[in-house]
Amino acid sequence: MTKTPLQFRHNGRDVAVFVDGGVNLLVALRELIGDMTPKFGCGQGGCGACSVLIDGELHLSCLTLAETVNGRTVETLDGLKDGPNLHPLQRAFMEQFAAQCGYCTPGMLMAAKALLDRNPSPTRAEVIEAISGNICRCTGYEPIINAVLTAATSGRARA
């Protein structure tokens, strides 16, 4: 089976790998690029733990054929902080105990980032909608929703 070359921008850096036919983006990110921040939860689109941004849009990396991101931009949790500075979303999640086991957190943060990039002042209902494809089985959604709302406020305060 021949491998296919794949090039894309990963968190601001150009990367090039060879992928097997049918490999999904989650596997390519974790096993070929070594970015372990997107998590494998179900491989079925059901949990959202693998969520990444492709050209700024929220996608499920487990359901994305790796080859389809050729020439595109992929952002994962690994690229969220700015050098040593945490992103306001990361800070709010940490300070407000919006993570327990942390398994859903990378996907939650990317879903929240997709929302705030588009809508810096979301309502509570909009936050709920934005994370509705992401399942958290231990923290509970209230602290997560509150952390996203706090990050939105602090982001506005900084701007």
Angle made by CA atoms 42, 55, 62, in degrees to the nearest 5: 15
- From residue 44 to residue 63, the character string flagging contacts with ligand FAD as x (rule: CB under 6 A) and all else as - is -xx-----------------
Nearer to ligand FES, 22 or 120 (CB): 22
- Contact between 110 and 75 under an 8 Å Cβ cutoff? The reply is yes
Q: Is 134 in the site for other proteins (CB under 8 A)?
A: yes
69 to 108: interface string for other proteins, x by CB under 8 A: ----------------------------------------
> Which residue, 45 or 71, is less far from ligand FES as judged by CB?
45
CA 72, 115, 137: angle at the middle one, nearest 5?
A: 100
User: Which helix (H) or strand (E) is 16 found in, with range?
Assistant: strand 13-19
Specify the pairing of strand 73-75 against strand 4-10: parallel
Chain positions contacting ligand FES, by CB under 6 A: 40-43, 45-50, 60, 62, 99-105, 136-139
Q: Mention every residue, 6+ apart, whose C-beta is less than 8 A from residue 101.
A: 138, 139
Among 17, 28, 33, 60, binds other proteins (CB under 8 A): 60
Near other proteins by CB under 8 A, which window of 42-50, 81-89, 96-104, 149-157? 42-50
- Which positions touch ligand FAD (CB under 6 A)? 45-46
